[in-house]
Structure 1
Amino acid sequence: MLPKNWAKALLLVMLLPLAARADEGMWLPLFVKRLNHADMQKKGLKLTAEEIYDINNASLKDAIVQLGGFCTGEFVSGQGLMLTNHHCGYDALQSHSTPQNNILQNGFFAANPAEEKSNPGLFVDILVRMEDVTARVLEGVTPQAPEQERMTTIRKRQQEMAEAAKENGQYVAYVRDMFGGNEYYLFVYQRFGDVRLVGAPPEAVGKFGGDTDNWMWPRHTGDFSMFRVYASKDNKPTAGYSASNVPYHPKKHLPVSLQGVNEGDFAMVFGFPGRTQRFLPAAGLQLTLDQSNPARIKLRDTRLKIWKEDSDADPTVRLKYASKYASIANYWKYFIGQNEGMKRLKTVDQKKAEEASLAQWIAADPARTPVYGDALPAITQAYTGIREYNLSSQYVNEAAFGTEIIATASRLMPLYTMLKAPQVEKTALDKAIADLKEPLADFYKDYNLSTDKKVFTALMQLYAQDVPKEQLPDVFQTVQKQYGGSMAKYADYVYANSFVGSEAKMNAFLANPTLAKLEADPAFKTYLSVYNNYTQTILPKMQAYQSSLTRANRLYVAALRAKNTQKVYSPDANSTLRLSYGTVRPYQGRDAVSFDYKTTAQGIVEKEDPTNPEFVVPTKELQLIKAKDFGRYAGKDGQLPVAFITDNDITGGNSGSPVINGRGELIGVAFDGNWEAMTGDLAYDPELKRCINVDIRYVLWCIEKLGGAKHIVDEMTVVNNGPNPGVGPQAQVNGLPLPAGEVKKIKVKRKKKDTADASASVN
């Protein structure tokens, strides 16, 4: 039984933010006044805390949206005009492109509202409020409660609170846990389902640098696209497109600054970071380093090479696979960089040292041992078990579901369940079929069967050879017995006989679905074999270990916060609205290599290579740059600014987030992180971590000068208010100013890679 002072220890953990100073982190804006505002003011913020977050009056939070659940956007006009990244709008651009009118390749800016393009299924969420509901969620939940009982109680309360907050469908709401389940917060949003594409630069601008420059600095990428959010005539959300909808009038939109940035200027990033794991213990880091990431890298590399080979051979295939390639390639390179960074920075060793110190702290007080004593041993034991089955889990996701035919077959599972029932309810069956029509049509539009067949052969062969034999689905026994172990021969059979690979055959099946037809389909049979093996053999083992790990992690995080009372921890990112703040700042990437904080259009000219698709520069852009036709967007040095870096804390999901100066003005759009700090999701490095941003002046130049769409710029509130508030022109490292001249511009030789262009993003 736990000692009486357990409650006192937990209370201390929850009160820690009141007594400590906030520095790095992705912070909940709900607490900006209490935790961050004073520090932000020292760095150059001129806004009040209420101007950043207020539920009763318009504030910066009302200008920020979550786009489609995967990116961030910001309003830049009172007419619902929204700015985000090019790679966030990539799928929309690709879906509206045809070989005859390839707006992805050529760029596009709507000349008027009638030319704006609707995007079924795309939505934005705007935060109404967030609330700390920890006490309500955990009321009566004791440490002695069995973990499954605890989880059941908490999930029920989370669902009830979220449902009540929706107010009969008026809002979208959910309750998210923070700090490993030690705290809980309610988030309430308005969801707008009519989001129309307004414009984007040519792909050669929006993805300039491709795979080579992805996750790298210096950058010269115009990574932006524009959408407009529409609402009903009374400015309320609608579920989707309607001709009667009108542009949404946001409570707040960001003024756009032409002043530019200087070293040391204040910078705030406001957005929806996806997921970090900075409380991941050493055993979890080790598993990521030597098992999870290598599997992901290997399988994605295999898939990407096949896609690229077919895309290079056929422009039609390239257009079909452009968005998919970019998405997969982005995190393929991320996983490579993360592993390299973990080795270079000895992240696992650092975490082991932290855990050793924590173990000593726990042992030093007899009252702590009953509360936290079994956390670290339980973590070690759980990861030992997880390691046995983790590879199988990775190969299900990256190999089996890396093939499009199996992933699409999985969509038929609800139909399969209905058809297996003793009595099939026709109304429910008709609805299930109707729900499949739109996503399937979207899938087949961008599907090439022969390409997918090559991927299937390669990935399933790797699945067979890399996963422990006793953990393999029984379909691999079929391949061995009936096809002599040849995955190529099995692929011939699957793709020749499955209706899943053909839109016409799929539609014929859906017109008259039967259980016999579905169970006989070789693609569905393959999926079902993988699914049953995973859910009946692999998943139960993983869940058993995960259950004990959940409790151990919760105690581990609580112990860390109780031990380090001098530090305020920000919760891990989990796709909820956060802000980070810092300064415009150069950095030293490695020995004798220092990077400046900004780039200009001169770098575009220097990188230009007409023979390399990643570094092609549109003729018009080249002409404008060489003529120095920069207009009011030139910097003080007469050059056209392109990108800049700050030391803001960001991660995936922050793609498209606004970079805001001390007066609340838009100075850039965040789109990437830097290679030297690829471990940032696991461990923050204040000296190396950088946020890469496209300068708003380059965005405006691309719209007006390159795109000929001055009317879009005229719609914005463009300001030029003088120097951006900041701590001064000198950068600081470890609190000490750098000697004058130490930060130098350098030219970095790029390596030519035989790879197609990929999304450069923090997403």
Structure 2
Amino acid sequence: MKKILAMSFILLMGFAGGVKADEGMWLLPLIQKLNIGTMQEMGLKLTPEQIYSVNHSSLKDAVVIFGGGCTGELISDQGLILTNHHCGYDKIQELSTLEHNYLDDGFWAGSMEEEIPAPGLTVTFLKKMEDVTGEIMSAVTNDMTEEERGKAIQDKRKELIDAASKDNNYKVQVKDYFAGNQYFLIVYETYTDVRFVGAPPSSIGKFGFDTDNWMWPRHTGDFSMFRVYADAEGKPADYSVENVPYQPAYHLPISIKGYEKGDFAMTIGFPGSTERYLPSWGIEERMKSFNQTLITVRGVKQDIWADAMAQSDKIRLQYASKFSRSSNYWKNSIGMNRGLEALNVMDKKKAQESEFAQWVNANESRKAVYGEVLPMLEKGYTQRADVYKAYMYLRESFLNGTEIYLFSLVGKDLIETLESGDQEKIDKQIEEIRETAKDFYKNYDAATDQKVMVAMLNLYQQNIAKKYQPKLYDTVNGKYKGNTEKYAADVFKKTIFASPETFEAFLANPKSKILKKDMALNAANTLLDAFSKIREEMSSTKPLIDKGNRLFMAGMMEMHPEKVYYPDANFTMRLSYGTVGDYEPRDAVNYNYFTTLKGVMEKEDPDNFEFNVPSKLKALYKAGDYGRYAANDGLLHVNFTTNNDITGGNSGSPVINGNGELFGLAFDGNWEAMSGDIAFETELQKCINVDIRYVLFIIDKYAGATRLIDEMTIVE
């Protein structure tokens, strides 16, 4: 088996020309072997060493993990970071108050001293990636069970991580690729002193809001700015007034020369997750259990939130970030299901599996290795269908749905601490809980959550088999005779967690017996019990699915050695390349590859907050005052499209031209290609980007934050 896999990867390395340039999320250390020739033919002027180097500064040193799920880039030698507005949205909302509403009004620090500390926000740099497939595979044998194999790999992982972590403060991971057929050791360095520098108001940064999300044409200035600080030696340090702006090994020069259709475009970022090698049974599960659950449950929850937000400015600010996070992948799930059906992906996968079966059965040695792969996958996914749906519903309805249940679990461990009588430990835990509660109640409305609780209880009971229902339903259906409204009213009337006042009163005089009787905490405990049992049942099919997918992936690469395979996204640094261009979404319709400020004005709707336009932006448009940021046609370009391969996590990725200069900021994909995480659509897949000239125009002409412009290396 090891010989088969090794041969597959040798063959994989040898045929770089066999895949379209716009498809693929490529590992940077392999660019020299796989992609550089094609990229240079398309217009790249850089060498592989200028893109990725361990020993010298390179593009990789200017691209960071922003927070826990986005990408950012360094655009000055003083640690200035550019990312999307929607990537900074959570932190901007957290730093906002009704008096200083940075979401509505925007913010621009007038000096470094005015930059606002953003506690909890991190910026992470990639130091190196190293292929350790040989070391990992040396620990496994063909006669191991999946459990034995998993343990051997985990032990070897730990050995490699421990060795790479010795005498340093780096974060080290060993990540698998191609369903466990390849492994890379990855070294990161994380900085924790990050400060908010500036962002336009949401009327620019989220113009179009949920209506325009995933859509083209787009007219959104989706950017925000932060700065990373370090100690005097340039090393990571917790926030301190003594810290200084971080001086990166490399920062991106910024081009305001513009672009034309067909120009080379490259993104570097941290795409989160794709599943392009899923078998047909996995796709069915994704559509029916994962996507449909998000569509149903989040749709109901968001309607309740939207009603509350429309009635109160306070609630609107409290729930702005939550709603944005929830609705993003709710809409994505709708589009993905539609796209997978329209592209007939299931039938294409079944045809691929039929071809695979014929190839396997044509050779006895292949049958010995791969003969049980497809039955294994079918059995694994089929057996877990009901429990996986229950898992998704429980996660979405209660753990991500009804907020008070999850928060009440802060009292779970406190019971044991209170009964220990250790006053020092009690005091310490109470203070930690107070900090957690402060963050929770700042963005919480009990009346809204009570309505959500009723809706979630009803949805779960209606859609999930009784065997997977938490014991809280014994109370709902017994004492309350199935009246979820009456039950929820009682929970919020009696629980200590419903308001900051009642919870603080408890913390001032905490007693374990109060927690033991609390309705919210008791219900939450039954949710955890149910979740644990559901996950345990799901785990029984995991070995079948993991082994099946790993062997299917290896077999596919052996069956088609002429094809170049790229690994699914897993939130590690990737490069994609393509070109600027338009597309035709349907018959007789052609979408231009860029939009202009004129389109912002055409979309303006003063009665709809999603399409409000700031008066100053209108005045600049009326005056045609675009400064040096106008395109050759005299217009101010806002957004543009390329055919780069991106997904969630790529938000904030730099769009880089053939000279290695930043000319855009990736922020979205297009509605017609929402199937992209499962099946890449070469004719329709588009990456939607903010034109860097619009970003600079907003910073300079709209906000007057010229000190930030002065920091940048601008190429005219």
Q: Which residue of 443, 466, 485 corresponds with 2:463?
A: 466
Q: Give the Cα separation in 1 of the matches to 2:671 and 2:288.
A: 20
Matched-pair contact (CA < 8 Å) for 2:136–2:156: yes
TM-score (norm 2): 0.97
Q: Residue 58 of structure 1 corresponds to which residue in structure 2?
A: 57
- Which secondary structure does the structure 1 equivalent of 2:478 belong to? helix
Percent identity for Structure 1 against Structure 2 = 47
Q: Residue 491 of structure 1 corresponds to which residue in structure 2?
A: 488
Q: Residue 554 of structure 1 corresponds to which residue in structure 2?
A: 550
Are 2:592 and 1:593 aligned?
no
Matched-pair contact (CA < 8 Å) for 1:585–1:647: yes
Q: Give the Cα separation in 1 of the matches to 2:413 and 2:165.
A: 27
Q: Give the Cα separation in 2 of the matches to 1:693 and 1:588.
A: 18
When you count helix as a share of all residues, which structure comes out higher? Answer: 2
CA RMSD of aligned residues (A): 1.6
Q: Which moved more, 1:369-378 or 1:74-83?
A: 369-378
Q: Give the Cα separation in 1 of the matches to 2:186 and 2:585.
A: 38
Q: Which residue of 616, 619, 629 corresponds with 2:615?
A: 619
Q: Which amino acid aligns with 1:80?
A: G
TM-score (norm 1): 0.91
- Which secondary structure does the structure 2 equivalent of 1:275 belong to? coil
Q: Give the Cα separation in 1 of the matches to 2:536 and 2:428.
A: 31
The structure-2 alpha-carbon separation of the partners of 1:417 and 1:74, relative to structure 1 and needing over 3 Å to count, comes to farther
Q: Which residue of 7, 17, 36 corresponds with 2:2?
A: 7
- Which secondary structure does the structure 2 equivalent of 1:88 belong to? helix
Pairwise mapping of residues 188-199 of structure 1 onto structure 2 (< 5 A)?
A: 188-199=187-198
1:435-491 Cα distance to aligned partner (Å, 9 max, x none): 444333211111111111111111111111111122211111210110010111110
The structure-2 alpha-carbon separation of the partners of 1:640 and 1:495, relative to structure 1 and needing over 3 Å to count, comes to same
The structure-2 alpha-carbon separation of the partners of 1:573 and 1:412, relative to structure 1 and needing over 3 Å to count, comes to farther
Matched-pair contact (CA < 8 Å) for 2:2–2:137: no
The structure-2 alpha-carbon separation of the partners of 1:417 and 1:531, relative to structure 1 and needing over 3 Å to count, comes to farther
Q: Residue 455 of structure 1 corresponds to which residue in structure 2?
A: 452
Q: Which moved more, 1:266-275 or 1:132-141?
A: 132-141
Q: Which residue of 13, 16, 19 corresponds with 1:21?
A: 16
Q: Which amino acid aligns with 2:549?
A: N
Deviation at 1:43, TM superposition (A): 0.8
Matched-pair contact (CA < 8 Å) for 1:224–1:699: yes
Are 2:286 and 1:288 aligned?
yes
Q: Give the Cα separation in 1 of the matches to 2:159 and 2:517.
A: 42
Q: Which moved more, 1:144-153 or 1:267-276?
A: 144-153
Q: Residue 719 of structure 1 corresponds to which residue in structure 2?
A: 715
The structure-2 alpha-carbon separation of the partners of 1:364 and 1:203, relative to structure 1 and needing over 3 Å to count, comes to same
Aligned length: 711
Deviation at 1:352, TM superposition (A): 1.0
Q: Residue 70 of structure 1 corresponds to which residue in structure 2?
A: 69
Are 2:602 and 1:606 aligned?
yes
Are 2:76 and 1:80 aligned?
no
Pairwise mapping of residues 230-309 of structure 1 onto structure 2 (< 5 A)?
A: 230-238=229-237, 240-309=238-307
Q: Which residue of 702, 706, 711 corresponds with 1:710?
A: 706
1:27-47 Cα distance to aligned partner (Å, 9 max, x none): 110111111111110111000
Q: Residue 165 of structure 2 corresponds to which residue in structure 1?
A: 166
Q: Give the Cα separation in 1 of the matches to 2:334 and 2:319.
A: 22
- Which secondary structure does the structure 2 equivalent of 1:550 belong to? helix
Deviation at 1:249, TM superposition (A): 0.1
Q: Which residue of 527, 539, 545 corresponds with 2:541?
A: 545
Q: Give the Cα separation in 1 of the matches to 2:117 and 2:436.
A: 16
Q: Which amino acid aligns with 1:297?
A: I
- Which secondary structure does the structure 1 equivalent of 2:33 belong to? helix
Deviation at 1:56, TM superposition (A): 0.5
Matched-pair contact (CA < 8 Å) for 1:414–1:432: no
Matched-pair contact (CA < 8 Å) for 1:207–1:222: yes
Q: Which moved more, 1:132-141 or 1:487-496?
A: 132-141
Matched-pair contact (CA < 8 Å) for 2:200–2:698: yes
Q: Give the Cα separation in 1 of the matches to 2:383 and 2:607.
A: 50
Q: Which amino acid aligns with 1:489?
A: K
Q: Which amino acid aligns with 2:624?
A: K
Matched-pair contact (CA < 8 Å) for 1:72–1:657: yes
The structure-2 alpha-carbon separation of the partners of 1:245 and 1:374, relative to structure 1 and needing over 3 Å to count, comes to same
1:147-180 Cα distance to aligned partner (Å, 9 max, x none): 1111122122223322332335511111111111
Pairwise mapping of residues 124-523 of structure 1 onto structure 2 (< 5 A)?
A: 124-168=123-167, 170-238=169-237, 240-401=238-399, 402-415=401-414, 432-510=429-507, 513-523=510-520
Pairwise mapping of residues 91-130 of structure 1 onto structure 2 (< 5 A)?
A: 91-130=90-129
Matched-pair contact (CA < 8 Å) for 1:53–1:61: yes
1:390-429 Cα distance to aligned partner (Å, 9 max, x none): 2210111110121110121234444456678xx6766666
Q: Which moved more, 1:299-308 or 1:132-141?
A: 132-141
Q: Residue 726 of structure 1 corresponds to which residue in structure 2?
A: none
Matched-pair contact (CA < 8 Å) for 1:21–1:566: no
Q: Which residue of 624, 630, 635 corresponds with 2:626?
A: 630
Q: Residue 665 of structure 2 corresponds to which residue in structure 1?
A: 669
Matched-pair contact (CA < 8 Å) for 2:271–2:648: yes
Q: Residue 34 of structure 2 corresponds to which residue in structure 1?
A: 35
Q: Which amino acid aligns with 1:268?
A: M
Q: Which residue of 580, 583, 586 corresponds with 2:576?
A: 580
Are 2:695 and 1:695 aligned?
no
Are 2:682 and 1:683 aligned?
no
Q: Which moved more, 1:486-495 or 1:147-156?
A: 147-156
Q: Give the Cα separation in 1 of the matches to 2:356 and 2:343.
A: 21
Matched-pair contact (CA < 8 Å) for 1:433–1:510: yes
Q: Give the Cα separation in 2 of the matches to 1:424 and 1:151.
A: 42
Are 2:646 and 1:650 aligned?
yes
The structure-2 alpha-carbon separation of the partners of 1:514 and 1:354, relative to structure 1 and needing over 3 Å to count, comes to farther
Q: Which residue of 518, 525, 530 corresponds with 1:528?
A: 525
Q: Which amino acid aligns with 1:62?
A: D
- Which secondary structure does the structure 1 equivalent of 2:690 belong to? strand
Deviation at 1:692, TM superposition (A): 0.3
The structure-2 alpha-carbon separation of the partners of 1:416 and 1:68, relative to structure 1 and needing over 3 Å to count, comes to farther
1:652-711 Cα distance to aligned partner (Å, 9 max, x none): 000000000011000000000000110110111111111000000000000011111111
Q: Give the Cα separation in 2 of the matches to 1:319 and 1:664.
A: 39
The structure-2 alpha-carbon separation of the partners of 1:676 and 1:434, relative to structure 1 and needing over 3 Å to count, comes to same
The structure-2 alpha-carbon separation of the partners of 1:236 and 1:372, relative to structure 1 and needing over 3 Å to count, comes to same
Deviation at 1:434, TM superposition (A): 4.5
The structure-2 alpha-carbon separation of the partners of 1:556 and 1:411, relative to structure 1 and needing over 3 Å to count, comes to farther
Q: Give the Cα separation in 2 of the matches to 1:433 and 1:175.
A: 37
Q: Give the Cα separation in 2 of the matches to 1:349 and 1:664.
A: 41
Q: Give the Cα separation in 2 of the matches to 1:273 and 1:503.
A: 38
Gaps of 5+ in 1: 1-5, 721-763
Deviation at 1:514, TM superposition (A): 4.7
1:488-535 Cα distance to aligned partner (Å, 9 max, x none): 111011111112222233344445655433221111111111111221
Q: Which moved more, 1:509-518 or 1:282-291?
A: 509-518
Q: Which moved more, 1:428-437 or 1:653-662?
A: 428-437
The structure-2 alpha-carbon separation of the partners of 1:571 and 1:514, relative to structure 1 and needing over 3 Å to count, comes to farther
Q: Which amino acid aligns with 1:14?
A: F
Q: Residue 89 of structure 2 corresponds to which residue in structure 1?
A: 90
Q: Which amino acid aligns with 1:212?
A: T
Q: Give the Cα separation in 2 of the matches to 1:278 and 1:424.
A: 54
The structure-2 alpha-carbon separation of the partners of 1:382 and 1:417, relative to structure 1 and needing over 3 Å to count, comes to farther
- Which secondary structure does the structure 2 equivalent of 1:273 belong to? coil
